[in-house]
Amino acid sequence: MSKTASWLSHIQSFCTKRAVPLAGVGMLVVVGTIVLTGSHAASIFQSAEPENGAISSPASTGSDTGASQGSYVRFGAAAASGTLSVDFTKPIVDIPANAYGLDESGYPGGGPVLADDTVEQLLFKKMGTGMVRMALKYTVSHDPTSKIICSGSGCDLTPSGDQYVAAIRAMGAEPIIITPRDSTDAANLVKHYNKDLGWGIKRWIVHNEPEVESPTLNGAQYAPIFNAAYDAMKAVDPTILVGGPANAWFNCCQQTANWTDFLPTFMDLSGSRVDFIDFHKYGQGGSVSKIDSDLTGMTKEYEDNLATLKAFLKQKQPNRNISMEIGEWQLDWDHIDPRFRTQFNTVWVASALGHILKGGALAMPYATKNNDLGFIDESNRQTMPAYHGYGMWTGEGLFRHFGSQMVQASSGVTGVEIFASASSQNVIVINKNTSSASATINLSGAAGVAADVWRKDQSMNAYAVPSKIATITTGASFSYDFPAYSVTTFVLN
């Protein structure tokens, strides 16, 4: 899907409110009738030692082993509080390594692209990218001797498709190729990569957002196109997986008399063939500009949509195991929301990724580079806030990756989410509130009694890497505090 700035006239700008932290611990702080100075608390949100006096203004206390006497005063309104629970003995979904995907836009933005940028390749390798999805085509249709190039709108045509795919493989990720709708070209691409080069590319998609490229195209018209391409591709290599329809939105699942729903019709005509379903979902876009709370509240829709789709696929094809992927997703698709470059998007991406993984799908956010939508800033190749929302799951090469099996976790704190994994016991807590929160965290079946604590919050530069803030003793239960708009990863030892 082309992500251009043509919608600028339809979008209203947003100004987000961000908390202003205390600049240093040596400043004078007046709270009601008490003067508190020289805090030894463990973070900028932990601002005074409560053992030295009484609290007489809007404030609350919190506990932290790094603070003097193990406690501190938090100024302002009392934090939301409650219990977070994890049961490491109750797995809910397996997470394959390639579930952590990404879309390669091929968008140059005045600089190098993934195909020839070793810095960019290294950054995505550190981010833990397991799969990269990209659209390719022949320069001349039906001529397999012509150059293979990227087919996204505005992408860099200088590198060959082979260079793009080689770069993806070099960073340790699995390529997934979107083919043209033409069955001959689709089959020739499979032959080129899997037979001629022997690269064994497993996953393929027939066409991208067909209803956007051809607005009058419906599921009944797309299905024969898919079936012809599927049959031709499988004739070349029967081991591959072929997916579709890569709709621009969740076009499911109410069957209507006149077949206006794309996916139900497609499943009626192609359900015996398709190996996986790809669909796209953005937080907002075009003329829609949601407020912060609506955007953070909608991330669970990813999990809900996937549950609906899973049940629908089982209904349509009860004897087949058709997998799912969200092939494009991000905060916005028209790249003009100012929150792309703030901590807000770190939190939003971390939450969306958690719900996609919990829903049992592969997650491929858009994109490597493409103005504000990119995970890398195209002007200076620095990592964007979205990169770090993703990195709080994968570790960014700084700490241990989230495990391969998500386990049962629940939150009793409004606006706070918790995800946890076995087979590498990690716990991720996301505070989507505009104020801090505190919680008692109960761990059932934990193997260790200590944890390294990594955090990304709005007291840090939005582009900065996560920071290790503590090593704590957890036991079976412990209390912790979470700043506004923060993502915290506990790596249990």
Query: In terms of pTM, does the model score above 0.95?
Result: no
The confidence score (pLDDT) of residue 336 equals: 85
Mean pLDDT of the region 256-269: 77
Residue 439, pLDDT above cutoff 90: yes
The confidence score (pLDDT) of residue 364 equals: 98
Q: Are 257 and 263 in contact (CB under 8 A)?
A: no
Residue 474, pLDDT above cutoff 50: yes
Mean pLDDT of the region 120-144: 97
Reference 375, options 388, 357, 392; nearest CA is: 388
Q: Are 48 and 72 in contact (CB under 8 A)?
A: yes
Residue 359 DSSP one-character state: T
Per-residue pLDDT band for 108 (boundaries 50, 70, 90) equals confident
Which of 41-55, 74-88, 350-364 ranks highest by mean pLDDT?
350-364
pLDDT in tens, 53-100: 333 333 444 444 444 444 444 444 446 899 999 999 999 999 999 999
The CATH fold assigned to 82-90+403-492 is Immunoglobulin-like (2.60.40)
Residue 313, pLDDT above cutoff 80: yes
Write the CB contacts of 192 (distance below 8 Å, at least 6 apart in sequence). Answer: 144, 148
* % of the chain exceeding 70 in pLDDT: 83
Q: In CATH, what number does 96-394 get? A: 3.20.20.80
- State the chain's mean pLDDT as an integer: 85
Distance CA(399)–CA(493), nearest Å, equals 12
Write the CB contacts of 321 (distance below 8 Å, at least 6 apart in sequence). Answer: none
Per-residue pLDDT band for 449 (boundaries 50, 70, 90) equals confident
CA dihedral 388, 389, 390, 393 (to 10 degrees): 100
Angle at which helix 385-394 crosses helix 343-358, to 10 degrees, equals 40
* % of the chain exceeding 90 in pLDDT: 74
Per-residue pLDDT band for 223 (boundaries 50, 70, 90) equals very high
Distance CA(317)–CA(75), nearest Å, equals 56
Distance CA(476)–CA(442), nearest Å, equals 6
The confidence score (pLDDT) of residue 289 equals: 92
Q: Give the DSSP H or E segment for 227.
A: helix 219-236
Per-residue pLDDT band for 111 (boundaries 50, 70, 90) equals confident
Distance CA(188)–CA(227), nearest Å, equals 16
The confidence score (pLDDT) of residue 260 equals: 59
Distance CA(259)–CA(357), nearest Å, equals 30
The confidence score (pLDDT) of residue 214 equals: 83
Residue 462, pLDDT above cutoff 50: yes
The confidence score (pLDDT) of residue 255 equals: 53
- The three-state (H, E, C) secondary structure of 372-397, written as one string: ECCCECCCCCCECHHHHHHHHHHCCC
Residue 430's DSSP bridge partners are 417, 487
Residue 22, pLDDT above cutoff 70: no
Q: Are 286 and 10 in contact (CB under 8 A)?
A: yes
Per-residue pLDDT band for 287 (boundaries 50, 70, 90) equals confident
What ranges do the domains of the chain cover?
29-75, 82-90+403-492, 96-394
pLDDT in tens, 376-389: 998 888 999 999 99
Per-residue pLDDT band for 36 (boundaries 50, 70, 90) equals very low
Reference 60, options 82, 79, 38, 35; nearest CA is: 79
pLDDT in tens, 330-342: 999 998 899 999 9
